[in-house]
Structure formats: structure tokens, C-alpha cells
Amino acid sequence: MRSRCIAPLLVPILLALLPGLSAGPGCGPCDPVLCAPLPVQGCPAGSLRDSCGCCSVCAAADGELCGGRRAGARRCGSGLECVRSRDDKKSKMGVCACKSNYEVCGTDGTTYKSGCALKTASLAAQKEGKEPISVQNKGRCATAPVIVTPPGEVFNVSGSQVYLSCEAVGVPTPVLTWKKVVGGKRRAELLPGDRDNLAIQTRGGPEKHEVTGWVLISPLTKEEEGSYECHATNSIGEASAIGAIYLVESADDVIIKTVMKEEEEEEL
């Protein structure tokens, strides 16, 4: 029986312990009938009790003002914290910011910039009568690889130094491999193979979840002429793109062929 009497008493005690939020002066006796109704369209950041622990009010959303004194104090919605400016120590006001400021993947398959952005989207979805959205995993949603920069075509003379590059993005970050296409797509030789004038290099970036790979050839011989396939794969899927290396007779041909290729690309 005792605990039933204590529970309502604990609320004002707990509120009094929170700095700047104390329900003290300014809070009259609570009469729920006098509370202003919540907006019919709902609250973007959800609702909570006002600082007097009496009426239901809209919580301050991500980026909105919070804090303040006594009865007028505004509190942030769940998952948010009130961050006060460091320059202005005297100010009692702050701005609501997300406690967990990292990307999350929602159960709707969308990547949100923070848990709070997801919460806002979830409340909006529910308002439209849709399923609420919850966190599926931290970080971005998994996506199949996409080749963002396919390997182009290079022309050069025998004995020269050439390279093809390929850039792919995906979550998890894709793994890149190169194949030399020999006699149609059926037969492909996984590179680098055993050629000592050919090397494969891969590194992460430039952006997060991106990977860039190169086929480096030096010196170029008739043997390396042909098509090269850049292949990106992760747990979700795969993607590939083809580039080519051509051996030409003279340095003049390098220029002519390169210019011709550029004109061709402009026409497309």
C-alpha cells in the first residue's frame, strides 16, 4: 500500500533533481482540464509531460530550442539531448541534438543520418497509418555494388606504361577483382596471373564504402591488348564493367585514337 502513495510523490522529486527543469515556482496545482490540447496533426518529436509534470506537450524536435526556466522550460523528445552553447554559459536555452549521431538503417530499408531522423520518419509514417520504423542495424543499409567509374579505354605504344582504373561503391564495401576477357566472356583469366609486367592494386575510398582498383601494365606488349573486366562483389550482389587496352604503332596514334574516342563519347 505504501508504494502506491510514494510513486506519485517521486515524479516531482525526480524533476526537481534535473537542473533547469525543476517544477517549483511557476507551477500551479495541476488541473488537466485546463491543459491546452496537443496539435491535431501530432507532434514531430512525440509528446511528453511539461516541466511541471502536469500537461502533455509536444517535445522539442532535433534542432529546436530547449531548456529555459521553470514552467516554461521545453524538453527534447526521446533520443535527444539539450545541448547548451559553450560560448554562452549564462544562457539557459539550448538546442536539441541527437544523442546517437551516427547513420542507422531502418526496417523500411532506408538509411537515416541519425537515430533521431529515423524516429521523426517513424512518427510521420505512423501518422499516415503506416507501420512504425525501427532500427534494423547501425550504419547504412546494405546495398549491392554499383560501379561509379568504369575503366575506360587506353591506347599506347609497345613498351609504354598504361593503367585502367575502376571505382565501385556498396554496403558492405565491395571486393574488387579484375579479369582479362579471353575469347568472349566465357573464358576469363583472373588477374594478376603470373605476368611480371602486370600488377593489380586496390585501396579503399575516396568515399566511405567505396573502393578503387587499378590494373597497371609496364611495359605494354601485344599480349596485354584486349578487354578487362572490373568486378565488384559484396554479400548483397555484384556489378561489373569492361575497359580495354589497345596497342598502337606510334605515339601519333596514341593522340589520334584518344581524340577519336573523346569525339565518339561526345556524340553519345
Ligand X SMILES: *[C@@H]1O[C@H](CO)[C@@H](O)[C@H](O)[C@H]1NC(C)=O
Pick between residue 45 and residue 198 the one whose CB is nearest to ligand X.
Answer: 198
Pick between residue 26 and residue 159 the one whose CB is nearest to ligand X.
Answer: 159
CA distance 191 to 126: 52
Pick between residue 190 and residue 259 the one whose CB is nearest to ligand X.
Answer: 259
| Cβ proximity of 32 and 55 under 8 Å | yes
Which residue in 103, 109, 119 sits closest to 144, CA to CA? 109
Element (H, E) at 249: none
CA distance 199 to 218: 9
- Shortest separation between residue 161's beta carbon and ligand X, angstroms: 4
- Shortest separation between residue 162's beta carbon and ligand X, angstroms: 4
Q: Output the furthest CA–CA distance in the chain (Å, rounded).
A: 99
3-state DSSP helix/strand/coil % of the chain, to nearest 5: 20, 35, 40
Residue type, 151: P
- Shortest separation between residue 245's beta carbon and ligand X, angstroms: 9
Residues 151-190, interacting with ligand X (CB under 6 A): 154, 156, 160-162
Residues 104-133, interacting with ligand X (CB under 6 A): none
- Shortest separation between residue 153's beta carbon and ligand X, angstroms: 9
Pick between residue 161 and residue 201 the one whose CB is nearest to ligand X.
Answer: 161
Residue for grid cell 527543469? 21
Pairing assessment for the beta strands 104-106 and 111-112 based on DSSP bridges: antiparallel
Give the Å distances, CA to CA, from 173 to 44, 108, 241. 34, 21, 17
- Shortest separation between residue 155's beta carbon and ligand X, angstroms: 6
Residues 3-42, interacting with ligand X (CB under 6 A): none
Size of the site for ligand X (CB under 6 A): 5
- State whether the Cα torsion 138-141-146-149 is positive or negative: negative
Closest residue to ligand X using C-beta atoms: 160
Pick between residue 112 and residue 178 the one whose CB is nearest to ligand X.
Answer: 178
Residues 135-154, interacting with ligand X (CB under 6 A): 154
- Shortest separation between residue 157's beta carbon and ligand X, angstroms: 7
Pick between residue 72 and residue 159 the one whose CB is nearest to ligand X.
Answer: 159
- Sites of contact with ligand X (CB under 6 A): 154, 156, 160-162
